[in-house]
Amino acid sequence: MDKMTASDAKQNFGQALERASVGPIGIERHGKLVAALVPAEWLDKANLLDDRRIARDQQQQVEQRRLMAHQRIAIDLLSHEETKKQLLEAARGQVRRWAEQGLCSQDYIDRWTEWLSLPDVELVDRMCSDAGGWGRAMRQNSPFAVAPR
């Protein structure tokens, strides 16, 4: 990294900016590096990386809420017989509607049709797990009335 003293940077700021547009310039005071001037595009790249990290974190939070919502549904499926009947009837009706009106990819229609015909414990396991790499996508395209909070 190119370096200059704090005094030189202060007295020749235009030159420091010009040099920093090409690469980073370390600013030293009393022989110690105290600051750096970097090309502006470096900040754009850093901000882009921050934006990607934030977007990834937000997406993980959405997926976590979807998983938790399906876990609450799973509890109802396994512990409340009347609620289970209502949930399964509504979910099967939703999948039929997707198929009739072409509202969803056939992959999801086929997979949810299969899942909804499984015994309760197996259905719960599938919808609350990775499900062979399909778990996240299936929770995103769920026939259960799920609104992530």
For the ranges 19-28, 59-68, 77-86, 138-147, the lowest mean pLDDT is seen at 138-147
Sorting pLDDT into bands at 50, 70 and 90, what band is 53?
confident
The neighbouring-strand residues paired with 2 are: 25
pLDDT over 70 (residue 149): no
Q: Do 17 and 24 contact (CB within 8 A), yes or no?
A: no
Greater model confidence, 110 or 54:
110
| Threshold 0.75, pTM exceeds | no
pLDDT over 90 (residue 26): yes
pLDDT of residue 75: 96
* Rounded average pLDDT over 20-31: 92
Provide the mean pLDDT of the chain.
Answer: 91
